[in-house]
Chains A and B, each alone.
Chain A
Amino acid sequence: MIKHIFTLIWNKKQKNFLLFLEIFFSFMILFAVFAFIISNLRVYYSPLGFDTKNVWAANLRISSSSDSTEVAEMKTLLLRELNAMPEVESVSFSANAYPFSGNTWSTGNDKNGFDFQTCIFFNDEHYSKTAGLNIIEGRWFKEADNTAKYTPVLITKKFREQCFAGKPVLDSLFILDDDEAFGEFVKIIGVVDHYKYHGEFAEEQLGTFVFAPSTSMDTNVAHIRMKANIQPDAEEKLNKLIASTTKRADFSIRKLEQRRIQKSQSTWTPMIALMSISGFLIINVALGLFGVLWYNISKRRSEIGLRRTLGATSSDISFQFITEIIMVTLIGIFVGLFFAAQFPIMKLFDIENINYYYAMLSSAGVILILVLICAFYPSRQAAMINPAMVLHED
Chain B
Amino acid sequence: MLKNYFTLAIKVLGRRKFFTFISLFGISFTLMILMLITAFFQTELGGDAPLGKKDQLVYLDYIETFKQYQDTIPKVDSTMMDGVMQYDTTGFKYEDSGRSISRGPGSIKFWTTHMEDVPFVKFRTIYTDYQSFDIFINSNKLTFSSTFTDGNFFDIYNFKFLAGKPFGNQQLENQAQVVVLSQEACKKYFGINEGTFDEAIGKEITLDRKNYTVIGVIDRVNNSFGFLKSDVFIPYTNAAPEVLNRERFNGSFSATFLAENASKTNNVKEELVKRSKVIPLPNPEQHDQLEYFPATYTERYAWTMLRMDEPEKSYKYALGALIFLLTLFFMLPTLNLINLNISRIMERSSEIGVRKAFGAHSGNILFQFVFENIVLTFIGGVIGFILAYLLLNTINGSNFLNGTILSFNYKVFIYSFLICLGFGILSGFLPAWKMSRVHIVNAIKNNQL
A and B pair up: yes
Query: Residues on A close to B: CB < 8 A?
Result: 15, 18-19, 21-22, 25-26, 28-29, 63, 65-66, 178-179, 232-233, 235-236, 239-240, 243, 248-253, 262, 265-266, 269, 277, 280-281, 283-285, 287-288, 290-292, 295-296, 299
26 residue pairs of the A-B complex, CB under 8 angstroms, read: A18-B339, A22-B335, A22-B336, A25-B328, A25-B332, A26-B332, A29-B332, A66-B242, A233-B139, A235-B134, A236-B141, A239-B136, A248-B209, A249-B133, A250-B146, A253-B134, A266-B402, A281-B329, A284-B30, A287-B22, A287-B26, A288-B339, A291-B340, A291-B343, A295-B19, A295-B343
Taking CB atoms, residues of chain B closer than 8 Å to A253 are 134
Q: CB distance B332 to A250 under 8 Å? A: no
Q: CB distance A284 to B340 under 8 Å? A: no
Please indicate which of the listed interface residues B29, B133, B146 has the most CB atoms of chain A within 10 Å of its own CB. B133
User: Quick one: closest B residue to A283, CB to CB?
Assistant: B25
Taking CB atoms, residues of chain A closer than 8 Å to B402 are 262, 265-266, 269
Q: CB distance A251 to B343 under 8 Å? A: no
User: Quick one: closest B residue to A291, CB to CB?
Assistant: B22
Judged by a CB distance under 8 angstroms, whether B12 is at the interface is no
Q: CB distance A291 to B19 under 8 Å? A: yes
Q: Within the assembled complex, what's the spacing in Å between the Cα atoms of A284 and B19?
A: 12
Instruction: Select which of A243, A281, A299 is within 8 A of B333 by beta carbon.
Output: A281
Query: 0/1 per residue, B13-40, Cβ < 8 Å to A?
Result: 0000011001001100110010000000
**B179-219 at interface with A (beta carbon < 8 Å):** 207-209
Taking CB atoms, residues of chain A closer than 8 Å to B400 are 269
User: Quick one: closest B residue to A262, CB to CB?
Assistant: B402
Q: Within the assembled complex, what's the spacing in Å between the Cα atoms of A28 and B25?
A: 22
- Nearest-neighbour CB distance to chain A for B149, whole angstroms, equals 16
Taking CB atoms, residues of chain A closer than 8 Å to B333 are 281, 284
Q: CB distance A281 to B208 under 8 Å? A: no
Q: CB distance B339 to A22 under 8 Å? A: yes
Known: A29-B328, A232-B139, A248-B208. 11 other contacts (CB 8 A): A63-B242, A179-B100, A233-B139, A248-B240, A250-B207, A251-B133, A252-B133, A252-B134, A269-B400, A288-B336, A291-B22
Whether A292 contacts B141 in the complex (CB less than 8 A), given A277-B33, A281-B332, A284-B25, comes out as no
Judged by a CB distance under 8 angstroms, whether B262 is at the interface is no
Judged by a CB distance under 8 angstroms, whether B8 is at the interface is no
User: Quick one: closest A residue to B143, CB to CB?
Assistant: A252
- Nearest-neighbour CB distance to chain A for B244, whole angstroms, equals 12
Instruction: Select which of A19, A240, A284 is within 8 A of B332 by beta carbon.
Output: A284
Whether A239 contacts B134 in the complex (CB less than 8 A), given A266-B402, A284-B29, comes out as yes
Judged by a CB distance under 8 angstroms, whether B337 is at the interface is yes
Q: Within the assembled complex, what's the spacing in Å between the Cα atoms of A233 and B138?
A: 10
Chain B's interface size range is 35 or more
Q: Within the assembled complex, what's the spacing in Å between the Cα atoms of A235 and B343?
A: 67
Q: CB distance B139 to A288 under 8 Å? A: no
User: Quick one: closest A residue to B430, CB to CB?
Assistant: A18
Judged by a CB distance under 8 angstroms, whether B276 is at the interface is no
Whether A28 contacts B328 in the complex (CB less than 8 A), given A249-B209, A250-B131, A291-B19, comes out as yes
Taking CB atoms, residues of chain B closer than 8 Å to A265 are 402
Judged by a CB distance under 8 angstroms, whether B440 is at the interface is no
Taking CB atoms, residues of chain B closer than 8 Å to A28 are 328
Q: CB distance B22 to A288 under 8 Å? A: yes
Q: CB distance B346 to A299 under 8 Å? A: yes
Judged by a CB distance under 8 angstroms, whether B279 is at the interface is no
Whether A19 contacts B343 in the complex (CB less than 8 A), given A251-B133, A287-B26, comes out as no
Taking CB atoms, residues of chain A closer than 8 Å to B132 are 252
Q: Within the assembled complex, what's the spacing in Å between the Cα atoms of A291 and B19?
A: 7
Q: Within the assembled complex, what's the spacing in Å between the Cα atoms of A240 and B141?
A: 12
- Nearest-neighbour CB distance to chain A for B181, whole angstroms, equals 17
Judged by a CB distance under 8 angstroms, whether B361 is at the interface is no
Taking CB atoms, residues of chain A closer than 8 Å to B133 are 249-252
Q: CB distance A295 to B344 under 8 Å? A: yes
Q: Within the assembled complex, what's the spacing in Å between the Cα atoms of A300 and B146?
A: 71
Q: CB distance A287 to B401 under 8 Å? A: no
Whether A285 contacts B336 in the complex (CB less than 8 A), given A15-B342, A248-B208, A295-B344, comes out as yes
Q: Within the assembled complex, what's the spacing in Å between the Cα atoms of A284 and B26?
A: 5
Judged by a CB distance under 8 angstroms, whether B331 is at the interface is yes
Q: CB distance B141 to A235 under 8 Å? A: yes
Q: Within the assembled complex, what's the spacing in Å between the Cα atoms of A314 and B237?
A: 87
- Nearest-neighbour CB distance to chain B for A41, whole angstroms, equals 19
Q: Within the assembled complex, what's the spacing in Å between the Cα atoms of A90 and B133?
A: 23
User: Quick one: closest B residue to A179, CB to CB?
Assistant: B100
Q: CB distance A288 to B26 under 8 Å? A: yes
In the complex, the 8 A-B pairs of residues with the closest C-beta atoms, listed nearest first: A288-B336, A250-B208, A295-B343, A63-B242, A252-B132, A284-B26, A287-B22, A250-B133
Q: CB distance B342 to A18 under 8 Å? A: yes
Taking CB atoms, residues of chain A closer than 8 Å to B342 are 15, 18
Taking CB atoms, residues of chain B closer than 8 Å to A295 are 19, 343-344
Q: Within the assembled complex, what's the spacing in Å between the Cα atoms of A19 and B134?
A: 59
User: Quick one: closest A residue to B145, CB to CB?
Assistant: A252
Taking CB atoms, residues of chain A closer than 8 Å to B339 are 18-19, 22, 288, 292
Taking CB atoms, residues of chain A closer than 8 Å to B328 are 25, 28-29
Q: Within the assembled complex, what's the spacing in Å between the Cα atoms of A29 and B346?
A: 30
